[in-house]
Every structure is written in structure tokens, then in C-alpha cells.
Amino acid sequence: MEGFLTLQERAVFEPALRVCEFAVYSEAIVAGESKLKGMDRALAALGCTREDAAVIGDSENDLDIVEAAGFGIAMGNACDSLKTVAKAVTGKVGQGGVAGAIEKYVLKV
């Protein structure tokens, strides 16, 4: 979502959601859930393991999946902590970073 929650919105949403605020936007996830749990469920449904997974992240809320995946990639504009745990760093968001990572590390073109 663009922007930030008001105090009134927080009172409504935060019992059920964990909200992460960034410079110009916010993200929310159901309380008690995580990107890693979602990744594990998706991989299980596909019959794959974490080692089979390649993931791309750009902020601290992506640390768990970038560390757990067989190949974790940080966007060029990612926070330093994410770049430290990633196996590779690609271009920036909005500058072809995701496409470049897919071409180089997944399609290997």
C-alpha cells in the first residue's frame, strides 16, 4: 500500500496483521505468517525443496527467504543486510533488475 497507516487504521489492522513500513510504502502480512512459510508451502505444493528455489528480495522483510533459498538474490537497491546474505546482487528495482537476474541465473542466457 502507498504511504503509512494512520493510528486509527493501526488500531483496526495490527491485531490481525504485521505491518512493515518503508520509505514510501507499507507492506502487511497476516500475524503469525511469514514469507518463508509461504515459500515453504509453495515449494511443497510443487514437490520442490528450498535448495531448488531462487528468490529475489529488496528489504529486511525478505531476509528469511533469501537466506533459506538455494539461490538468494538481492536487488541493487536492497538494504545492506540483505546484500550480505544474498548469493548475488542484480540491478535496481525499476531498472530491469528482476529481468536481469532471471536471464542470468535462471535462464542462463
Residue 71: CATH number of its domain: 3.40.50.1000
Count of all residues that appear for the chain in the document:
109
Domain-located, residue 32? no
Domain-located, residue 8? no
The share of the chain scoring above pLDDT 90, in percent, equals: 59
Sign of the alpha-carbon dihedral angle for 11, 17, 22, 25: negative
Query: For position 2, what pLDDT does the model report?
Result: 66
Host H or E run for residue 88: strand 88-89
Spatial distance between the Cα atoms of 88 and 9, rounded to a whole number of angstroms: 38
Whether residue 19 is predicted with pLDDT greater than 90 in this model: the reply is no
Domain that holds residue 96: 50-107
Chain segment 69-103, per-residue pLDDT in tens: 999 999 999 989 999 999 999 999 889 999 999 99
φ, ψ of residue 8 to 5 degrees: the values are -65, -45
Mean pLDDT of the chain: 90
Domain-located, residue 95? yes
Beta carbons of 21 and 61 less than 8 angstroms apart? no
Type of residue at 109: V
pTM of this prediction exceeds 0.75:
yes
